Every structure is written in C-alpha cells, then in structure tokens.
Amino acid sequence: MKQVVLLIFFFYFFNISIFFFAFLQVIGLADGRCFCQVTGDLDDCACDVETIDDFNNNRLFPKLQRLLESDYFRFYKVNLNKPCPFWTTTSHCGLRDCAVKPCSPNEVPEGVRASSHNKYSAAANEHQTDCEQENRLGAVNVSLSNETREALLSWNRHDDEAERFCVVDDEESPDSQYVDLLLNPERFTGYRGAEAWQIWNSIYEENCFKPFTIKRPLIPNVLHSSAGNDAKIFHSWLEGQCVEIRAFYRLISGLHASINIHLSARYLLDDSWFQKKWGHNVTEFQKRFDADLTAGEGPKRLRNLYFLYLIELRALAKALPFFQRSSFQLYTGKVEEDQKHKGMMLDILQLARSFPLHFDETSLFAGDEKEAAKLKEDVRLAFLNISRIMDCVGCFKCRLWGKLQTQGLGTSLKILFSGRQIEALPMSDIQGPAFQLSRQEIVSLFNAFGRISTSIRELQNFRELLAEEQ
C-alpha cells in the first residue's frame, strides 16, 4: 500500500514539476511579447497606436499631470459608505492599504467647498444674485404653488438624468466627504479574489449586451482551460455586433486594462517594518497582458485601452467651447492661481483638439432614428448600472478610483452625445447654457483621462523594463 501511495505521489509531483518548468519557460519567453501585436491601426478608428504614443507621452501627459496637481482638480467629493444596491457585501476590505483618508474641512479650499452649490463660477453666481435683486424690485407676484414647484423640480431632475451616463448623487449627499486624490493614489492594495471577481463578472455578464451562452475570455486556468476556444467564439460574436455594442465592450475592457496597468505599475514590492516600496512589477504585468499567458487576450485588452483613450480625448476636444466662456472659472478662491490653471486647462483642451486622428462619434447611433435612439438609451442605462456597481467594491481605495473613473467616462459620453448643445453655447451665462457640467463631473472628467493618459505612459515604461530584462 505504501508503495502505491509513493508511486502516486511521485507521478503527481513529476507532472506538476513538468507543468511549472513549462510555465517558467513561457514566462521567460514573454519578455517584449505583450506589445508585439499592439501596433498599427485600431479597429473602428482612423488612428494608430504609434500616433497616440507620441502625442500622449511627449506632448499631453506632462501638462495634464501638472494641472491635476492643482487644488481645483485634486479634491474629489465622494460617498464611500453607500450600500451595494445589488447584493449583500460582507465587509469593506480589512487590508490597511484599502483605507482612504478623507479631508478635514479646513484642508479643502473654501472656494471648492462653496462651488458644490454652483455649476459654473463665482462670477456667474454674483451675476445671478444681481439679477434676482433687480427682479424683486418691481416684480409681479408669480409665486408657484408647492405642487407646481415640486413638479418643476421633478422635471429638471428628469432632464438632467436623461443626459447622464452615471450616478452623481454623491455631490449633495450628507455622507459625502472630500478626498485629496494626491494623498490617496491608485495602486495595488491586495484586494482580489472572489469579491473582486464578482464586480467585474457582474459588469461584463450583465451590462455588456452579451448573451449568457457566450463565454467571455478569461485568464486560463493553470492546469486546464478552454479559454482559447471561448475567446474565438466570443470575438466571432462580438464582430457580428453593431459598432455601438463593440464600442461599449471595448470601453469597459479598456477601463479594466487601464486599472490593471496602474496596479502593476504601483505594486507593493517591499513591505518591511521600516519601509514600503511601490514600483513596477513586470511579472504581474505579463500575467495580465502577455499573449501566451492570456490565451491571446492581453494585446486585445491593450488595444482597447487605446480605443478608450481616443474616446475620452475626443470628449475633451468637444468640450472646449464650454470651458472657453469668459464666465467660467476654476474657482477655488485664489484668483491668480485660478486664472493660471484655467489657462493651463485651455491649453490642454486646445492640444486635444489639435490631435489629427480623432474618433468620429457620428459613426455611432446613426441609421434609423428610432432604433438609434433606443440603442443609445440602452447603452446609457447599461453604463448607469455599471456606475452603481462601483458601490459594491469592497476596497475603499478601489471604490474611490472606480467611482471616479466610471463617472469620468460617463461624463465623456455625455459630452460626445451633446454636440449640438455645446456648439449652441452662448459665450456668456446671462440666459444660462443648455449644456451643463457640475464641478464633480469636471473633476472626474480630467482625472479619469489622467488615469488613461498615465496608463499609456506606463506602457512605455514597461516596454523599457522588458527590453532591459532581455
């Protein structure tokens, strides 16, 4: 009996050893392979990877990073205590690196705190006050009944919600707090496993218009996997879909890829009693993006990241007229700094507009007007649902950045599909613009694009690290 047990153990150990030897060989051959398929033209776009790399890394990225360090953009208001609306969560991640430190009231500039009640600027607010005083001097009593007032408020809320692709109720929630994004950077926290899996699984399986019979491509199981066959079936299905469905999936995949790049680039490399060292983890990056280790999915995910970059870049370019209005300020209460930072912001937006190969959003929701409107609403509701899923993320720091990045992408989509309203904007706010962005949307818009821009820049860092290893 002992001989049989020993024989079985030897056979099992021998096969496992062969597997791990082969796995190490694959890892050894992975250097540089993550990028071999991430070149040239992008699907559904008139652009290529190399053009984006040069534009982002050499021209836009440095300017954007400096802007995001300013007071207007570094403070983000968020409610991290909202319950998950879809399932019962057991905990909020006991890992110490998941913690988020909110700001005390005196740490947030007074102008930032006050601007939550005003969508535009201090100047616009003063003008509005003057007009209200003038109207009261000789005004006819046209006060509304309580019922009519409630109805108007309900209509206004409905009109605002009809434009939005994400939940924005954190702005006025009494449970919301300001967070300094520079003091709570996005990085690896140790949050993983079944709970994290449930988040992404819910996003892909329930909100990406995919039938349950089609399996999405996953990282292969180390001993056995049908991931390669599943991937072929999935991509065959995806290619058969309309451009809007393909674009929606690619945006979510690109966002997922960007987050994974951030976690690989700011990985906890050393956690000793006297120091914590964060840096690039090449092995972790390869596990997520190498073609062989991901059954060919890694390069596709990186290409989707570039697609997401084009979408958010196009939104910034289209939003330029909104920010160019003389009445709009980045109001923090520090006049000289606010003027300087608005100039920096407009410089970035002008640069975004100068990009030669923008995504053409008119290719989306074209054709039959009724069908296009229905599809657009389906997409909006699906993305709205994804923004709600962010309240189910168990790690507070992951929840913070997940909410910000989904809101930023939702704001980009809102801008892309509000082209006529933006083009019709008056250069003053006397009558009030038809298109509106709250400070919360503005901060998330620029910071979310900052994350995507950082991911593109980090790819260059990983290329160089992989080249050094070779």
Q: Which residue has the tokens 């100068």?
A: 354
- CB neighbours of residue 224 within 10 Å: 7
What SS3 class is residue 253?
helix
For residue 414, give both structure tokens: 């809102």
Q: Binding site annotation covers 187?
A: yes
427 exposed, middle or buried (CB, 10 Å; 0-12, 13-18, 19+)? exposed
Q: Binding site annotation covers 224?
A: no
Q: Cβ neighbours of residue 445 under 8 Å, at least 6 residues apart?
A: 315, 316, 319, 408, 411, 412, 415, 437
Q: Binding site annotation covers 200?
A: yes
Q: Binding site annotation covers 358?
A: no
Residues in the chain: 470
Select from 305, 193, 319 the least CA-distant residue to 260. 305
Give the strand pairing for 276-279 and 267-271: antiparallel
Does 395 qualify as catalytic in the annotation? yes
Residue 276 CA to residue 268 CA, distance in Å, equals: 7
Q: Binding site annotation covers 353?
A: no
Phi first, then psi: give them for residue 41, nearest 5 degrees.
-65, 150
Q: Which residues of 166-189 are buried (b: 16+ CB within 10 A; e: fewer)?
A: bbbebeeeeebbbbbbeebebbbb
Does 36 qualify as catalytic in the annotation? no
Q: Binding site annotation covers 253?
A: yes
Catalytic residue among 34, 98, 166, 395: 395
Q: Cβ neighbours of residue 185 under 8 Å, at least 6 residues apart?
A: 266
**Which residues are catalytically annotated?**
395, 398
Binding residues: 187, 189, 200, 253, 256, 288
Binding residues for FAD: 187, 189, 200, 253, 256, 288
